[in-house]
Amino acid sequence: MSNTSPTHVVGLVDGNNFFVSCERLFRPDLQHKPVVVLSSNDGCVVARSQEVKDMGIPMGVPYFQIKDIIKDKQVTVFSSNFTLYRDLSRRVFSVVRNICKTFEQYSIDEGFFLVPAAEAEAVGWQIKDTIARTLGMPVSVGLASSKTLAKYAGTLAKRGRGVCFLSSADWAVCAPTVGLGDVWGVGAQRLRAFTEAGLQTAADLMVADSALVRRRFGVEGARLQLELQGVSAYAVAIAPKLQQSIMHSRSFRSATKRRSVVEAAVAHHVRRGVEDLLERGLCAQYLTVAIRSSRYERNAPGWGSEGVCLPIPTADLFMLMQTAQAMLTRLYQTDVAYQKAGILLSGLVPATMVTAGTLWGESLVARQRKAVASTVAQLNQRFGSDAIQVGYYAPATTWQARQDVRSPAYTTRWNMLARVSAR
DNA sequence: TCTGGGGTCCTAGGACCC
DNA sequence: TCTGGGGTCCTAGGACCC
């Protein structure tokens, strides 16, 4: 399981207020000014600048609840711009990969790496400084002997100078002061279970009887205990993990009872999913379609999902589209106001591992369909999503997310490049 | 009264994360 | 009026098999 040793430690690189930093990169006038980034549909706050955190605006709060304070304190607001964030994420991590061979990307703004203990702090600074100098993006680096402790070191780094190496001696001192709720992997549910067992701090869990911990808190509890003891239970992945599933879903601008709109949304998600499959060279064995009415309505009917095992693993747009629409027919109920639709592609396997459909090889029809789908994908890549559409369609305005304050695609569209002028 | 036990596979749902 | 989207892993329970 573990691939750390006494000679190596785990590092965590973490973008500071990542989405906010991405926006500020192209709006230097917003340095040291309060900024928030909203989720899709401008629903809730998903990133906050330090100034906003200091105002006490919490993560995840619905936007409409804080509109007054936003206006009052002149907070700059952005809709999320994932095209921009993904591109900057790629650039940030390519710097880290150049410095550390063993690197595992964990999320859009975080990644783990391995480094010899003797060089830990120096490498941490090298990463932070190189990213700041070449990209202008602020990151923090935490270093310790397991992922969980590296995460904690990362929070110390953010409070301090930006790089923190948490030695076992340092950890021994602070573990009794760290509440289990602040430990990575402990959410509300596990925190309650730990509290009921009389465990309050990281130190409490570290010294608890391990057999009892395993019995009472399952494998995750046992791993958590090891990680806190500085024993790595979550390896830093050397080979990139094969992706398990691809999901596309979105809330509608407002709830709808119109079947044509729900169909169009599902079709849109199938198209996006197939683009992902083709881009990554994968085929899916299972397809799930899910639609639901408002999450916040009591006893709301109309929540439904259905999954099927496909006849063969496939990335065939036409087959997936037909299958999804057939499932939707079974799920859809008239007179339900639907709020959200999505699809899940799972059981992903590399396309190269899928043998052709029949004993005599791929049929002509299948080959033609593949050719059409790949042409459609290329055209959409070139001219923008949904320039060409296969399957059901409704104007985007009928269901697509609200994005009232989105920044331009500064780095990925020629016509939106930032302009610089000098006199 | 008592009805094998253990393995695998699949699925749905939960918990957690960013 | 307005409450995100995209992931991972684990567990429990049922079906099935020997």
Number of alpha carbons in the 13 Å side-chain half-sphere of residue A58: 4
Calpha distance A49→A32 (Å, rounded):
8
Chain C footprint positions (protein CB, under 7 Å):
1-11
Domains of chain A: total = 2
Strand partners, A249: A342
For residue A416, the model assigns a pLDDT of 77
Q: Please give the helix or strand (H or E) that residue A141 lies within, else none.
A: strand A139-144
For residue A354, the model assigns a pLDDT of 74
Asked if the Cβ of residue A188 lies within 7 A of any atom of strand B, the reply is: yes
> Distance, angstroms, CA A196 to C1' B2?
38
For residue A221, the model assigns a pLDDT of 95
- Which two three-digit tokens encode residue A220? 């995750």
For residue A1, the model assigns a pLDDT of 43
Which residue segment(s) compose the domain that A251 sits in? 245-398
Asked if the Cβ of residue A58 lies within 7 A of any atom of strand C, the reply is: no
A265 with A133, same domain?
no
Calpha distance A368→A392 (Å, rounded):
20
Give per-residue pLDDT as tens, A22-52. Answer: 999 999 999 999 999 999 889 999 999 999 9
Whether A347 has a pLDDT exceeding 50, the answer reads yes
What pTM was computed for the model?
A: 0.90
- Which two three-digit tokens encode residue A113? 């790496």
Whether A181 has a pLDDT exceeding 50, the answer reads yes
Give per-residue pLDDT as tens, A242-297. Answer: 889 999 999 888 888 888 889 999 999 999 999 899 889 999 999 999 888 876 66
Calpha distance A303→A247 (Å, rounded):
18
Q: β-pairing, A76-79 with A35-38?
A: parallel
Asked if the Cβ of residue A404 lies within 7 A of any atom of strand C, the reply is: no
Per mean pLDDT, which range of A179-188, A342-351, A359-368 is the poorest? Answer: A359-368
Whether A3 has a pLDDT exceeding 70, the answer reads no
A251 with A378, same domain?
yes
User: Which of A177, A195, A223 lies at the terminal end of a domain, its last residue?
Assistant: A177
User: At A39, which CATH number?
Assistant: 3.30.70.270
Asked if the Cβ of residue A255 lies within 7 A of any atom of strand C, the reply is: yes
Calpha distance A263→A325 (Å, rounded):
7
Asked if the Cβ of residue A340 lies within 7 A of any atom of strand C, the reply is: yes
Average pLDDT rounded to a whole number, residues A375-397: 74
Whether A299 has a pLDDT exceeding 60, the answer reads no
A173 with A249, same domain?
no
The one-character DSSP state at A11 is E
Calpha distance A115→A9 (Å, rounded):
6
**In the predicted model, what is the mean pLDDT of chain A?**
89
A157 with A8, same domain?
yes
Average pLDDT rounded to a whole number, residues A308-327: 88
Work out the pLDDT band at A148, boundaries 50, 70, 90: very high
For residue A397, the model assigns a pLDDT of 66
Give per-residue pLDDT as tens, A200-210. Answer: 999 999 999 99
User: At A364, which CATH number?
Assistant: 3.30.1490.100
User: Which of A140, A161, A177 lies at the terminal end of a domain, its last residue?
Assistant: A177
Asked if the Cβ of residue A309 lies within 7 A of any atom of strand B, the reply is: yes
A54 with A138, same domain?
yes
Calpha distance A131→A111 (Å, rounded):
14
Calpha distance A18→A135 (Å, rounded):
13
Calpha distance A227→A224 (Å, rounded):
5
A249 with A338, same domain?
yes
Average pLDDT rounded to a whole number, residues A361-367: 71
Domain assignment present for residue A341? The answer is yes
Average pLDDT rounded to a whole number, residues A57-75: 94
Give per-residue pLDDT as tens, A365-381. Answer: 777 887 887 788 788 77
- Which DSSP string do the residues of A250-295 spell out, in sequence order? EEEEEEE--HHHHHHHHHHHHHHHHHHHHHHTEEEEEEEEEEEE-T
For residue A117, the model assigns a pLDDT of 95
Helices A120-135 and A82-99: angle between axes, nearest 10 degrees: 140
A160 with A262, same domain?
no
Calpha distance A87→A83 (Å, rounded):
6
Burial class of A387 by CB neighbour count within 10 A (0 to 12, 13 to 18, 19+): exposed
